[in-house]
């Protein structure tokens, strides 16, 4: 299988070297992809739902279809401007000259995509890589076989296999894939796997973009509208049953808002998911291993004496387990050393922790790994600025959740433990391009005078240039 990976990679690189996609080709590719993708949305949603056991149709359309279509449209609208060379100042010392930056394609881009949003997180980076003029080799997660089959059909309809190819397989294939000498490797997934991907890429000095996750806090300031904040945090947390890298991973709120948050959470969940035995709008956990991992987090919390509060009845909980449907659950004031506060949750479990002062809450966040997302809820610009000026995060949304990812013209990417590099829009285009500096030098030139044997004229010129 490794030989097949290498053969496919070589075919992609040879084809790119022989015929690098120009602006016309890139636009044509993106338009064909948009048309084929739009036509196939029912097939996409069905494939994803089969992989999850059940996936809300509306969540698939919002999180997969909308994001990809917006990315394509943004690239089509701006590609001519992005490609245009940027003028820079050459400096009077080099007159007469002209300086510019040209954005040139890198070559063959490798994309390793995860299972939680298997279409969005495969196609969104692919779109910007194609817009930048590259060829793409995609390795999707082995945990979404039906979606992978859909992606294979879709991409084969749009692209020749010498421009876009897909590698199928498990962890062994992913490891071999990471070791290919790509011109750039783009990975979305966990930090533990990212370390292996980065180590493999390092053997070829392949640059990497790592889109990871971590524990993204929802910080509720003392003056926040608690009903609004609770509603929007629940939306961000329980979308896709919490299987979202930018989902709020825990809530920090003042002591005096604790009971109000819990009461409102119960009210909201009852309104949203009234029939847990047939939850059309609630997504299942992707597989048994992930389900048992989440149960393990709850078991650890229970052993430590922390209160776990399912927001459905116990009878609904028992009925839903066979379908890997894990009800939204609050874990109240867990210790910092509990598993649920040490690991990225990636499921519908929400720790709720209280603080005494706003400063204490900010210090709590800054003492930990930099999160992929920060959600700050406040009516006070001063309190919002206090958080923004102290906390470094991959992205921020004020008084709501998730929208920073959906805004196609904002870059998306982590920092430190939550990732490196970014994509979406022009930042994605530049991630998959080389910003190549070009200096056009015209006559006369000082280099005609500054050459050995150096003499008094050279001394004068150097004194003049370094004065």
Residues marked active site are found at 211, 245
> Residues 265, 229: contact at Cβ < 8 Å?
no
> Residues 209, 233: contact at Cβ < 8 Å?
no
C-alpha closest to that of 6 among 201, 164, 188, 182 = 182
> Residues 259, 354: contact at Cβ < 8 Å?
no
3-22: buried (b, 16+ CB within 10 Å) or exposed (e) per residue? eebeebbebbbebbeeeebe
> Residues 206, 183: contact at Cβ < 8 Å?
yes
Angle 258-272/226-238 helices, nearest 10 degrees? 50
Residue with tokens 């969104």: 124
Q: How many CB atoms are closer than 10 A to CB 69?
A: 18
- Return the structure tokens found at 235: 């939306």
Q: 227: which residues sit within 8 A by CB, 6+ positions away? A: 260, 264
Specify the 3-state DSSP secondary structure of 455. coil
C-alpha closest to that of 208 among 177, 244, 173 = 177
Q: How many CB atoms are closer than 10 A to CB 25?
A: 14
d(CA 336, CA 219): 16
What CA–CA distances, in Å, run from 378 to 133, 208, 220, 228, 352? 43, 36, 7, 10, 17
Q: What backbone torsions phi and psi does residue 211 show, to the nearest 5 degrees?
A: -105, 105
Torsion angle of C-alpha atoms 451, 452, 457, 463, degrees rounded to 10: 70
d(CA 45, CA 276): 21
Q: CA 409, 415, 419 angle in degrees (round to 5)?
A: 90
Q: For residue 26, what is the enclosing H or E element?
A: helix 23-39
C-alpha closest to that of 245 among 220, 216, 219, 218 = 216
Q: How many CB atoms are closer than 10 A to CB 461?
A: 15
C-alpha closest to that of 138 among 70, 183, 186, 207 = 186
> Residues 393, 347: contact at Cβ < 8 Å?
no
């Amino acid at each position: 299988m490794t030989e097949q990976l290498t053969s496919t990679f070589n075919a992609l690189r040879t084809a790119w070297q022989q015929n690098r996609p120009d602006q016309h080709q890139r636009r044509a590719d993106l338009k064909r992809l948009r048309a084929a993708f739009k036509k196939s949305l029912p097939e996409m949603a069905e494939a994803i739902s089969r992989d999850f056991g059940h996936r809300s149709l509306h969540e698939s359309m919002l999180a997969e279809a909308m994001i990809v279509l917006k990315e394509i449209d943004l690239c089509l609208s701006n590609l001519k401007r992005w490609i245009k060379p940027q003028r820079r100042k050459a400096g009077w010392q080099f007159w007469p000259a002209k300086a510019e930056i040209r954005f040139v394609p890198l070559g063959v881009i490798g994309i390793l995509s995860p299972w939680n949003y298997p279409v969005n997180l495969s196609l969104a980076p692919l779109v910007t890589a194609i817009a930048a003029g590259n060829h793409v080799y995609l390795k999707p997660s082995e945990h979404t076989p039906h979606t992978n089959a859909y992606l294979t059909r879709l991409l084969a309809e749009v692209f020749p296999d010498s421009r876009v190819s897909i590698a199928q397989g498990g962890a062994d294939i992913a490891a071999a894939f990471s070791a290919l000498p790509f011109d750039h490797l783009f990975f979305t997934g966990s930090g533990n796997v990212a370390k292996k991907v980065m180590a493999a890429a390092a053997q070829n000095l392949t640059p990497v973009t790592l889109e990871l996750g971590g524990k993204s806090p929802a910080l509720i300031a003392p003056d926040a509208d608690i009903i609004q904040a609770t509603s929007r945090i629940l939306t961000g947390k329980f979308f896709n049953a919490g299987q979202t890298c930018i989902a709020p991973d825990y809530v920090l709120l003042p002591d005096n808002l604790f009971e109000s948050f819990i009461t409102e959470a119960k009210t909201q969940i009852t309104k949203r998911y009234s029939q847990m035995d047939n939850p059309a709008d609630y997504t299942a956990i992707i597989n048994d291993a992930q389900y048992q991992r989440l149960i393990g987090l709850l078991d650890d919390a229970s052993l430590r004496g922390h209160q776990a509060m399912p927001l459905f009845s116990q009878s609904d909980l028992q009925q839903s387990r066979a379908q890997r449907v894990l009800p939204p659950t609050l874990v109240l004031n867990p210790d910092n050393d509990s598993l649920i506060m040490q690991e990225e949750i990636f499921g519908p479990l929400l720790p709720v922790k209280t603080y005494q002062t706003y400063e204490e809450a900010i210090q709590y966040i800054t003492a930990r790994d930099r999160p992929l997302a920060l959600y700050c809820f406040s009516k006070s610009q001063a309190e919002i600025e206090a958080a923004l000026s102290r906390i470094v995060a991959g992205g921020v949304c004020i008084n709501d959740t998730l929208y920073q990812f959906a805004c196609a013209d904002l870059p998306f990417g982590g920092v430190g433990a939550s990732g490196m590099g970014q994509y979406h829009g022009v930042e994605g285009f530049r991630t998959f391009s080389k910003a190549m500096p070009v200096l056009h030098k015209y006559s006369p030139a000082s280099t005609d005078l500054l050459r050995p044997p150096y003499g008094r004229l050279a001394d004068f010129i150097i004194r003049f240039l370094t004065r």
